[in-house]
Amino acid sequence: MVIDVNEIPKEGLHIDQDFDFVSLDLVEEDAVFLEPTHAMVDVRKIGADVQVKGRITARLSFICSRCLRPFEYSVDSSFDLVYLPEELDEIKEELEEEDLDKFFYYHQQLNLRDIILEQLNLSFPLRPLCSEDCEGICPVCGEIIQEGQCSCEVKESDPRLEKLKIFLRDKS
């Protein structure tokens, strides 16, 4: 959905709609949409600037980074962005420090679909986890540790301490 900045009315635009994205659009490679992304967005023109303020909700399926099982992940994220005209992009050195977190629109147009997709991608965790206390899989047998079926004993030692162990053993 492309918005022509020159045609934004004085009272602004209110957009309340679903967006159908494909999983290939996402930064999380294994994510699958369980329902369309819903966005409620207000777009207002303030002088030459454009304020885009909204909220997105979505339900996706992710793969847990520790146990490799799929789990449902809900997104409920708000955003408040300011877009400046493209002419200011060329004179960045003259912008104030608080202007550096602002964005630019080009050819008097804003692509709302791209904005929603970017905000959706920014809401994802770096390492998706099915739960904070997920213990992952056993490095010996490959069973999921949380399910309690693994009875392997993993004897781990820090390789940096091996020299100290040898030293202490030889000293005795």
Q: Do 16 and 98 fall into the same domain? A: yes
Query: Can you tell me the distance from the alpha carbon of 39 to that of 42, in angstroms, rounded to the nearest whole number?
Result: 10
Reduce the DSSP state of residue 145 to 3 states and report it. helix
* Structure confidence by residue, pLDDT tens digits, 63-86: 999 989 999 999 999 999 998 888
C-alpha dist (Å) from residue 67 to 123, 131, 135, 139, 140: 22, 10, 7, 11, 14
Reduce the DSSP state of residue 77 to 3 states and report it. strand
Q: Do 45 and 57 fall into the same domain? A: yes
Structural domain that includes position 87: 2-134
Q: Do 52 and 122 fall into the same domain? A: yes
* Structure confidence by residue, pLDDT tens digits, 81-104: 998 888 755 555 565 666 556 788
CA torsion, points 107, 112, 115, 121, in degrees to nearest 10? -140
Q: Do 66 and 78 fall into the same domain? A: yes
Q: Do 64 and 80 fall into the same domain? A: yes
Q: Do 54 and 39 fall into the same domain? A: yes
- The distance from CA 98 to its chain's CA centroid, rounded to whole angstroms, is 23
Q: Do 130 and 63 fall into the same domain? A: yes
pLDDT tens-digit profile, the chain (172 residues): 888 888 889 999 999 999 998 888 788 888 899 999 999 999 999 888 999 999 999 999 999 999 899 999 999 999 999 988 887 555 555 656 665 567 888 888 899 999 999 999 999 988 999 998 888 888 777 788 876 667 777 666 777 878 888 888 887 6
